[in-house]
Amino acid sequence: MSKLIINRRGLLKAGAVGGVALATPMHFIRGAYAADQSCNMPTGANVVFGFNVPLSGPYADEGADELKAYQLAVKHLNGEGDGGMLSTFSSKALKGKGILGKKVTFVSGDTQTKADAARDSAKRMIEKEKAIMITGGSSSAEAVAVQSLCQDMGVIFMSCLTHSNDTTGKDKKRYGFRHFFNAYMSGVALGPVLAEAYGKDRKAYHLTADYTWGWTQEESMKKSTEAQGWKTVNAVRTPLGAGDFSQYLTPVLSSGADVLILNHYGKDMVNSLTQAVQFGMRQKQVGGKNFEIVVPLFSELMAQGAGDAIKGIYGTANWDWKLDNDGTKAFVKSFGKEYGTPPSQAAQTAYVQAILYADACERAGTFFAPAVIKALEGFEFDGLGNGKTLYRGSDHQCFKDVLVVQGKEKPKDKFDLLEVKKIVPTKDVTYDPAIFGGDLGPADAKTCG
């Protein structure tokens, strides 16, 4: 009695219908395009930037600050406001009249601190809103995911807050560029400072955010501390956005370790550090030594979130608003005038990436992606807050000084939380790109739909 039995006539009918359905898309195979066209080249009076930042999830605070900086950069590119770092930038191609005579506009999207959502949002900006360039990302998982999407679509991705070695290492892409420093540089910069402050005979316990950034930072920190004679007792992975870290913190004290290294960022780091301090870890003595906590990567925003817990903690930073150079001063001034607070390091990277892309287009004289990539590769510049900087062509990583910072014991106000302990010069943190492997892939132009 079942009607699901298939007879010959039905099969033929279904076959014919299916055939038509399958043949339909064949009409939509894209054809060849003109030679010097790449994805979303602007045709009107405007050029669209896509700002893809987390506005929810554990890195939401950073994302909000990035978006502010991007908006400021767009203003300065269009000649509004005081021009910020454009006046101190070593390249004078940008004149505050947009890019190549086109006014800069932007669209934004929420990545939710998730790789999937970040890709969706980037896709929307590329396909619907015709963004010529995507920038943002406040987690390396996002950056790696969006970067490979951009490579596929032929749209340049100027990554913002991504610190994993993989972004410009094993997962590097021809269309992806990173201004921020990476975990390897943090390790190299921080290792000697830690050994000097806490001695060479230490046992470290790592708590690590369980994704690409955490993994590579753990690896880099292990390597650099072990080179100083430290031992690694254990390394435990914690899920991103865990909220409550007490179950991971309890075993630390009984493990015999005397240093806790928190490879956490954003709200995760605020939570884990605060909870570690509440556990009384910093008053503990292990084997006659004071128990210490290290957070290899932190920022002003996180320091604000962690409050008193940050005092005396060592870490590294890409940039700090108290640095003494012209670029920094100009940027802090115009950011402060616009929003009333000093910018975070995330904001600085965001701003600089937008400016660098605009400048590369202007110097290349076109928006054609392969030409812009060529203009960025091996580009040396100064005056954007980090001193002399090189965009290395072989892995699209920026090389510049790295700051070792420490939480201030007596902050003047809520923005004066970090003290720059040491500026590690570029040559000390430069490495051979071959150590991480990976392949940039081709720079051929693509047309997106």
Partner 1 sequence: MFGNLSRQDWVMFLGFSAVVLLAPILFQPIGAAYPAILEKFCIFGLFAIGFNILFGLTGYLSFGHAAFLGIGSYAAVWSFKLFTMNVIPAIILSIIFAGIFAFVIGFVSLRRSGIYFSILTLAFAQMSYNMAYSVLTPLTNGETGLQLTLKDPRIVDAMFITPGTGLPRSTLFGLEISGGGLGGFYFTAAALIVGFYISMRIFRSPFGLMLKAIKSNQNRMRYTGFNTRPYLMAAFVISGIYAGLAGSLMAAVDPLAGPERMQWTASGEVVLMTILGGVGTLIGPVIGAAIIKYFENIFSGFNENALNSVFSFLPDTLRDPIVKLLSLFVGEGWSLTLGLVFMAIVIFLPGGIMEGVRLLTSLFKKGGNGNKPAVSGQTQPAE
| DSSP letter for each residue of 247-292 | HHHHHHHHTT-SEEEEE--HHHHHHHHHHHHHTTGGG-EETTEE-E
Sheet arrangement for strand 46-53: 103-110, 46-53, 133-136, 156-159, 176-178
How far is 422 from 433, CA to CA, in rounded Å?
A: 25
Is 97 near partner 1 (CB under 8 A)?
A: no
Residue in 103, 129, 231, 420 binding partner 1, rule: CB under 8 A: 129
Structure tokens, 396:
């699209």
- Contact characters 19-38, partner 1, x per CB under 8 A: --xx-xxx-xxx--------
Report yes or no: 264 and 207 within 8 Å, Cβ to Cβ.
yes
Compare residues 117 and 310 and give the one whose CB is closer to partner 1: 117
Compare residues 38 and 91 and give the one whose CB is closer to partner 1: 38
Residue in 15, 16, 18, 90 binding partner 1, rule: CB under 8 A: 18
Length of the chain measured in residues: 449
Is 251 near partner 1 (CB under 8 A)?
A: no
CA 363-389-433 angle, 5° bins? 100
- Contact characters 314-353, partner 1, x per CB under 8 A: ----------------------------------------
Is 221 near partner 1 (CB under 8 A)?
A: no
139-150: b or e for each residue (b if 16 or more CB lie within 10 Å)? bbbbbbbbbbbb
Q: Which of residues 145-204 bind partner 1 (CB under 8 A)?
A: 145, 148-149, 151-153, 171, 174
Compare residues 279 and 339 and give the one whose CB is closer to partner 1: 339
Q: Which of residues 100-119 bind partner 1 (CB under 8 A)?
A: 106-110, 114-117, 119
Q: Which neighbouring-strand residues pair with 259?
A: 204, 292
Residue in 203, 237, 329, 408 binding partner 1, rule: CB under 8 A: 237
CB of 347 to partner 1, least distance (A): 17
Residue located via tokens 């943002």: 136
Q: How many residues bind partner 1 (CB under 8 A)?
A: 67
Is 125 near partner 1 (CB under 8 A)?
A: yes
Phi, psi of 91 (to 5 degrees): -85, 130
How far is 111 from 190, CA to CA, in rounded Å?
A: 31
Report yes or no: 300 and 321 within 8 Å, Cβ to Cβ.
yes
Q: Which of residues 41-70 bind partner 1 (CB under 8 A)?
A: 55-56, 60
Which spans of this chain sit near partner 1 (rule: CB under 8 A)? 1-7, 9-11, 13-14, 18, 21-22, 24-26, 28-30, 55-56, 60, 106-110, 114-117, 119-121, 123-129, 140-141, 144-145, 148-149, 151-153, 171, 174, 210-212, 237, 239-240, 439, 441-442, 444, 446, 448-449
